[in-house]
Structure 1
């Protein structure tokens, strides 16, 4: 019978028919056996009926067996769903009403004295797409969604979250603390006065260490290191590094012009690298003007986080540094075949002035140098200045278009970036990437978008302008007998005048020394006025923004461009300049629709109000009192709302 069960009913019938045919052939061969044929035929029919009956019975038994197994599996699955520590919810895809859920879900929500409803379903679905974990009561869950079957699985992850939290809290933290302006504050005072300052610094930092439970190590009077874990660092972050404000206020009470710069890094295992990152962060904090914290994790993809930075940069005694930069730059230029100088996108007069000064420096070093501009990004005053340069035989061959510079560039050429240190702001990114040798000269606060392969960087956020910095470098060139042309000196001086608003803002004795040097080189005030003159239509555009302004917070003015009108950078910037000159205004912001389609913001301030950090939060940057940003894919109203929210948060932090 087992043998028969291997065949289907159709196969059995075929076999029986074949047997019948064979038997018929045999019988026909012997006519005398007719009676045997009848018996055999009846026998075959009986056998066939028996086999078919047995096969059908087997199939019925097999189906019953399969049904039984399925029933047992389903019962087992239901029992598992009822008892396993995983919540399962089936919901209506249109109404979000729960259609079925296992007892574990009931346990989860009854713990909160409630029954699951469609609002809970919506909340779970939203959190599942936004967050890694969902909090229900005191427990944490991971939500998995089966969209095809409208099922939600909630997996208890409370222990996992607790372990991760404890694991992350144990990350090592290294911090480097530097006292800003320590040398200036202790240079010309008595030994007893210096001892008093050192005692104040030491006692303050010891109290800071005791407050948070960190290990503090003194290297010298102005440099300390601290060590802790991330759990303690998180407390400092929640306090927004109040140590900066406390130290600044206590220093002011003692009439000592000191602030702190702190670089902090954290991560796993690789302590030497964590220490290097902390020192790099400290350098970044100092370059950005001091009185701030730069925090970054020890991973390649991590971005710096900034705290503080609300004190204006103090002028440093940098003549020695300027001389060293001048010497180092001469060496780099001497080892290069030629030099190309670029400003930022939509180059202004300060960028052009700094570029012209660097061209003169390279010429003094015996190298050919080219100031590069993009005719598609010319502002009116810069265009007038370039036209004047082109009229002189000295400037014509050295002020070149971007496409020309790309053809002239050689393998060993040097690129000098002036008035910017962000790669995203450079005149042309492809042109920048084509250089292996790079120098950066800027007066804006440095951030994380800084060229990684710069051979030399000279960033002084306390300087009034990039033109001022380049003139200082120029003055220390040992071949300073070469006279700048009148147009060159005038353009550089125009750059200083632009950023200082005709020497009324951010000026120091260094600014006037640079101006005096340029005056001795033949700068022409009438020529400067002609270059810097305001176009009549531009003036009207500026007044539109000013007239459409209002006070949004005490001491803060906001000007908005008219609807359906577009403005260039000059109108937007000059409107902000006009507003900040008015009585009672500490900070001024102007928002316009730019002619190129994006939203443009210009920010100006005085009396210690830092607009650079505000513009950084909105994707831009700049100087302490002079900053800007460009915003894409948002309308003016949304940008205005974002700005006001940031300003209100700043007010609340005071």
Structure 2
């Protein structure tokens, strides 16, 4: 191996030798003992380097000789004169052989017999290359499709790359991809509420202003923009324009959100659904579904749907506007009542680790179904529910037979059964996912912001992300089902408990309809003192909760605490601790991490300034803007905390 080749193969090693040598020379002017010591170090490094280079050279020489033995003279000549560049490298990513075409195309007069293969693969080493049989690389300003294979040379494993230059084809493919049409559908949120709040002439002016803002934003891009109707727009543009829009994170959302009418905030927001597809019709269909997803998540955001059914979301920072009209509630109540009457039996099921909102809503619907003459049951596991006080209270009130285990519910399920899923819209999060698959008819009633993996084949999907709780939604439904006697004291207490839980005593996400529902339940016999008892906890649990609060640390106005404790009530304690951390000054959000078996759990809370739903979604969870959670399977608490802090950083960077 020549000195030039050795220096090219080990640049860092020789740089270290030169640095030590320079220090030795400088030290000689000041202290001979120090210079002697440094010279000794230099000699040791030089010997080690020489041994290493000699060993590597022997390995490479043996590999090259093995290659010569592996291929016959004719085969070797064929490879050398092969019309495509071919290179062989070893498991240490070192080049050991290449043909003439490779040398002429990539090396010119340079030698790379001991060079690093990564300089010819776009930085990819063997670990990344071996994942597929081919990959794309750019070398010397040209684009290549590189084919990977491996060979045995005298017992040594070596690897072969074959380069096919297709710069022109890749340039055409890239241009085609950037010109593919994309469809977007835009809609003003809460149009009806704004229309009722202003005079007709004022509403027309507001609508025109929003249209002007939206059209002005779009005019900076290339594409077609048309108004479809009141507050609804359609846009068609190339993929290149979409990339620019995503880079600016759909800045029009912020422009519309900040709109004021005569210097008074209107509260108008915009929802955008963007669809890609193999054709215009596919893109339009995906855009429509994406808009539904954006609206189902509370509006004020853009949802981008790809042909592979994946979504990306932008925005979603506002709380949304409460819908004052109850027309939809009346329509849904009538439809659900009809289904209840026509069913053989009804199974009401919530999410895993059911809480007061989940069980309260289930009790309300069971009571209504039984009043309409159809047997109904609440599917829950008494060992995992977080609403044990409510279940015990209902059992003592004569409703013990209402509650059934998931395995018992499977035996009750028939073709004429009706399954109602409450407080979640994800089949995988339910108490018994197998029931969702087996049931012929499913009704979903939920208030959480919509996620991608929602139950798609529900006969009724009653989803109100602006509602405070599922119990509020059920309380409204019961008023229009024609079964007022179903709202007994038990039912009223159960529903009020769910409302109080999710609103944190009427503090968070509380609207006019929330108080109207609470007033109705109070008129039907709800006892606030009795409901308060559902939230009582033992002295031991209070001590553990205080310990979690004391261990909290602040990070970017967020309180983060790791609960390294073991107790049966760990979920309830951590949820309560997260609520309590919000009472600390200068804390806008709280996160409590705890472990169950091999899963790291995160309970997240917020006062509304920080959208904890977006943070939890980035970790695979979900929920609401002010209340969310995530489960990280096969993850330790330190790893979960690191992932959480990274998610918090990403959230603030994207705002």
TM-score category by the smaller chain?
0.7 to 0.9
Deviation at 1:176, TM superposition (A): 0.7
Distance 1:351 1:376 in 2: 15
- Which among 284, 290, 311 is matched to residue 304 of structure 1? 311
TM-score (norm 2): 0.82
1:591-621 CA-partner distances (Å, limit 9, x unpaired): 1112x43101011112432111111110010
Q: What's the C-alpha RMSD, in Å, of the aligned pairs?
A: 2.4
CA–CA distance in structure 2, aligned partners of residues 112 and 455 of structure 1: 72
Per-residue deviation at 1:277? Answer: 2.3
Q: How does 1:34-433 map to 2 (within 5 A)?
A: 73-74=74-75, 77-81=78-82, 84=83, 86-93=84-91, 95-110=92-107, 115=112, 117-118=115-116, 120=118, 123-129=124-130, 132-149=135-152, 150=158, 151-251=160-260, 255-269=265-279, 271-297=280-306, 299=307, 301-379=308-386, 382-393=387-398, 395-433=399-437
Q: Structure 1: how far apart are the matches of 2:409 and 2:481?
A: 26
* 2:621 counterpart of 1:617: no
Counterpart of 1:47 in structure 2 is none
Over 3 Å counting, the alpha-carbon distance change for 1:390 and 1:144 in structure 2 is same
1:78, distance to aligned residue in structure 2 (A)? 4.2
**Is this contact kept in 2: 1:355–1:371, CA < 8 A?**
yes
Change in Cα spacing, 1:360 to 1:565, as seen in structure 2 (3 Å) is closer
In structure 2, distance between residues paired with 1:117 and 1:566: 60
Three-state SS of the structure 2 residue aligned to 1:420 is: coil
CA contact (8 A) 1:127 1:134 kept: no
Query: Aligned partners of 2:435 and 2:187: how far apart in 1?
Result: 37
Equivalent in 516, 525, 528 of residue 528 of structure 2: 525
Instruction: Tell me, yes or no, if the aligned pair for 1:389 and 1:399 is still in contact at 8 Å.
Output: no
Which whole-Å deviations, capped at 9, do the CAs of 1:333-359 have from their partners, x for residues lacking one? 222222110010010111001111111
Q: Any conservation in 2 of the 1:421–1:442 contact (CA below 8 Å)?
A: yes
Cα 1:592–1:119, aligned 2, differ >3 Å: closer, same or farther?
farther
Q: Deviations over 1:500-540 (max 9, x none)?
A: 11122221121111112211222223322332211222222
Partner of 1:62: none
Q: Deviations over 1:1-49 (max 9, x none)?
A: xxxxxxxxxxxxxxxxxxxxxxxxxxxxxxxxxxxxxxxxxxxxxxxxx
Instruction: Measure, in 1, the Cα distance between the counterparts of 2:79 and 2:326.
Output: 82
Bigger drift between 459-468 and 118-127 goes to 118-127
Aligned residue in 2 for 1:508: 511
Other-structure match for 1:19: none
Contact 2:606–2:612 (CA<8 Å) still a contact in 1?
yes
Cα distance in 2 between the residues matched to 1:644 and 1:449:
25
Matched, 1:474 2:483: no
CA contact (8 A) 2:446 2:464 kept: yes
The CA distance in 2 between the partners of 1:111 and 1:172, in whole Å, is 43
- Structure 2 partner of 1:586: 588
Task: After TM superposition, give the deviation of residue 137 of structure 1 in Å.
Answer: 3.8
TM-score by length of 1: 0.83
User: After the TM superposition, which of the residue ranges 530-539 and 597-606 deviates more from structure 2?
Assistant: 530-539
Structure of higher CA gyration radius: 1
Q: What does residue 61 of structure 1 align with?
A: none
Q: Which moved more, 1:535-544 or 1:127-136?
A: 127-136
Q: Distance in 2 between matches of 1:105 and 1:126?
A: 22
Q: Distance in 1 between matches of 2:76 and 2:354?
A: 76
The 1-side partners of 2:551 and 2:224 are apart by 55
Give me the whole-angstrom Cα distance separating, in 2, the residues matched to 1:343 and 1:411: 21
Deviation for aligned residue 1:112: 12
Counterpart-to-counterpart distance in 2, 1:616 and 1:405 = 31
Inter-partner Cα distance in structure 2 for 1:409 and 1:120: 60
Q: Give the match's secondary structure for 1:276.
A: helix
Other-structure match for 1:59: none
Partners of 2:111 and 2:626 in 1: CA distance: 55
Number of the residue aligned with 1:448 = 452
Matches of 1:112 and 1:257, distance apart in 2: 68
Q: 1:63-107: per-residue Cα shift (whole Å, max 9, x none)? A: xxxxxxx988447504523xx1x32222233x4322211233334
Structure 1 residue 427: Cα displacement? 0.7
Q: Bigger CA drift: 215-224 or 364-373?
A: 364-373
> 1:237, 1:129 → 2: CA distance?
33
Does the residue aligned with 1:147 lie in a helix, a strand or coil?
A: strand
Aligned to 2:496: 493
Match of 1:20 in 2: none
Distance in 2 (alpha carbons) for counterparts of 1:142 and 1:128: 12
Question: Deviation string for 1:423-478 (max 9, x for gaps)?
Answer: 11111111221101011111100111111210111111111111111001111122
SS at match of 2:420: strand
Assess if the C-alpha contact under 8 Å between 2:588 and 2:607 holds in 1. Answer: yes
- In structure 1, how many angstroms separate the alpha carbons of the residues matched to 2:326 and 2:259? 30
Go from structure 1 to structure 2 and tell me whether the alpha carbon gap of 1:401 and 1:134 turns closer, same or farther (over 3 Å shift).
Answer: same
Q: Does 1:439 align with 2:443?
A: yes
Deviation at 1:254, TM superposition (A): 5.4
Q: Does 1:557 align with 2:559?
A: yes
Deviation digits for residues 333-386 of structure 1 (CA, Å, limit 9, x no counterpart): 22222211001001011100111111122123221111111134222xx22221
Report the count of equivalent residues: 572
SS of residue matched to 2:592: strand
